[in-house]
Chains A and B, each alone.
Chain A
């Protein structure tokens, strides 16, 4: 099944820049919390078939720790801050200055993880607002630790005009220590990329 909907190169570049600005601010925020250097990769902008969306984070059944925030306002969409369970334990351990050697995250660690997702998302979105003048309001952070695909589905639930594809603006970040890659995803709701591109002064080609 081929998507009838294609993203032009200019549009992809513009959206990649959105990801760049947002993720850079999010990485800076994380760096300030951790007092460490945080590196980020060049964002990717892709139309990904639903079935392949979890592959970026290790496959449909990979167990991940995810913070999800619903975005409303001039732009509606979904933000995910997602990483392996080990990585999440390490990250919360650094923030709380204690790493416990147990398999699951306790209540305090869950709360810390949610707050990190909150801060990263707020940094990401507020830099986008500065840039595009679009107002965006994140929900409170929701946390789930489970199979990647089961979690990510929540960002795919609107009726997509482009078929079973999602527009994903994806950046991965990691700190200089052992923290594995953490991923920041912005999934605009279907059709919302037009809003983003308009705000950047671009017309979308159909």
Chain B
């Protein structure tokens, strides 16, 4: 079964299932995977840092979304020391857009994701970030492989 992860959303799944999120632009998709229990999780964050408003959806931000995703995979039986992260996205969709602050959000998202994973001591074993194109990603919870599909640059697996 393929679980769809929306924008500003996070889900976890087990062996036999996949997790997929569509059309990552400046957003970053983060996957956590435990090889032994074959538990995987995926988050689709939109912004680097959450604001003070406590009512917001934690999965929208890198700083709150990654601990939130971690809780999800742990509750399905993953063990934190075995978790490995893969990340994709963080593109700058409008290549000619210099000087527009909002355009820079992709790289800032990537930095925030790296920092949040670093704080939790979760290693990033593969990443496909940056560029100026969108990505659809799918995590196979049986193998831990992350498939990446793009409009212009074909498909790859990391």
Contacts and interface: CB of A to CB of B under 8 A. Distances in A.
A and B: bona fide binding partners: yes
Interface of A: 1, 50-51, 54, 60-61, 63, 68, 70, 139, 142-151, 153-154, 156-157, 159, 161, 163-164
A154 B60 CA distance: 14
A150 B26 CA distance: 7
Given A63-B151, A149-B134, A143 B6 contact: no
Interface in B45-59: 46-47, 51, 53, 56-57
A60 B46 CA distance: 15
A157 B51 contact: no
Contacts of B7: 50-51, 149, 153, 156, 164
Nearest to B22: A60
Given A150-B24, A154-B25, A50 B8 contact: yes
Main secondary structure of the interface of A (DSSP, over half): mixed
A148 B53 CA distance: 29
A154 B93 contact: yes
B136 interface: yes
B2 to A, nearest CB: 14
Contacts of B136: 60-61, 147
8 contacts: A60-B22, A70-B102, A144-B132, A146-B152, A147-B25, A150-B134, A153-B93, A157-B47
Interface of B: 6-9, 22-27, 46-47, 51, 53, 56-57, 60, 91, 93-97, 100, 102-103, 105, 132-136, 151-152
| Central interface residue in A50, A146, A159, A161, by most chain B CB within 10 Å | A146
A154 to B, nearest CB: 6
Given A139-B100, A149-B23, A159 B94 contact: no
A91 B152 CA distance: 22
Contacts of B51: 159
Contact of A150 (B97, B102, B135): B135
A84 to B, nearest CB: 13
A65 B97 CA distance: 16
A86 B53 CA distance: 43
A79 to B, nearest CB: 13
A156 B6 CA distance: 14
Contacts of B23: 54, 60-61, 147-150, 153
B151 A157 contact: no
Given A51-B7, A147-B151, A159-B53, A154 B27 contact: no
Contacts of A142: 94, 96-97, 100, 103
Given A142-B97, A164-B60, A150 B103 contact: no
B90 to A, nearest CB: 11
